[in-house]
Amino acid sequence: MSNLKEKHSHHSVVSLNIGQYYACKSGEVIRTLLGSCVSTCLFDAQAKVAGMNHILLPHIADMNKFDLNARYGIHAMEMLINEMIQLGARRTRLQAKAFGGANVLTTATAGSTPGTKNIEFIKEFLELEKIPLLTSDFGGNFTRVLFFHTDTFEVYIKKTEPVLRNLALSQEEELVRAVSKEKDYSGDIILFDE
């Protein structure tokens, strides 16, 4: 653990919770804790712009909850990409690293887990948008703590202990239960070009 701490000690650390995203040009470390959720680390090496999101589920159920949109796949990806473009990134130069999608929720049924759906979404989105996925660490039955260094574009992963796992799971299960009560609705998305 001391090596891991040393790697991050000279950087400002930004922590992401479920549904949040962050982009910067300043060489910060972006940290998050994942269970069945997924995070995508995007970067434009030429513009030195990087960012990360924390996605709860692939689709939104209620568009009236606009402030929660970043919890859901397509919205979380587009919000992060648009923020990065505003900082000088070009969509055509983006590269990705993606993580999470563990099979850890007790509400999951075999073959249709939130983690599996999240993994499928991320892979399909990146392929459709022609954003290369350079590396990934998906699935499993454990949670992950990610540290994304936005200056070097390196990602450090720590498989978590039971205490952190229980924290991640309780947050995710509560949100999944709330989302399952929302009605399904697909709305328009405004995409911004470079």
* Most distant pair of Cα atoms in the chain: their distance: 47
Q: Using CA atoms, how far apart are residues 145 and 36, in angstroms rounded to an integer?
A: 12
Give the predicted TM-score (pTM) of the model.
Answer: 0.74
Query: For residue 126, what are its two tokens?
Result: 């990146």
Q: DSSP letters along 61-82, please? A: S-TT-GGGGGGBHHHHHHHHHH
pLDDT tens per residue across span 90-134: 999 999 999 999 887 655 555 678 888 889 999 999 999 999 999
Please identify which of the residues 33, 37, 102, 122 carries the catalytic annotation: 37
Q: Is the pLDDT of residue 174 over 90?
A: no
Strand order from edge to edge, sheet including 49-53: 21-24, 49-53, 38-44, 95-100, 133-138
Q: Is the pLDDT of residue 188 over 50?
A: no
Residue 6 neighbours by CB distance under 10 Å: 9
Please identify which residue in the block is written with the tokens 């470390």: 29
pLDDT confidence band for 66 (50 / 70 / 90): very low
> Active-site residue 37, yes or no?
yes
pLDDT tens per residue across span 13-53: 999 988 899 999 988 999 999 988 899 999 999 999 999 99
Domains of the chain plus CATH, in order, are 2-180 (3.30.1330.200)
Q: SS3 of 174, please?
A: helix
pLDDT confidence band for 159 (50 / 70 / 90): confident
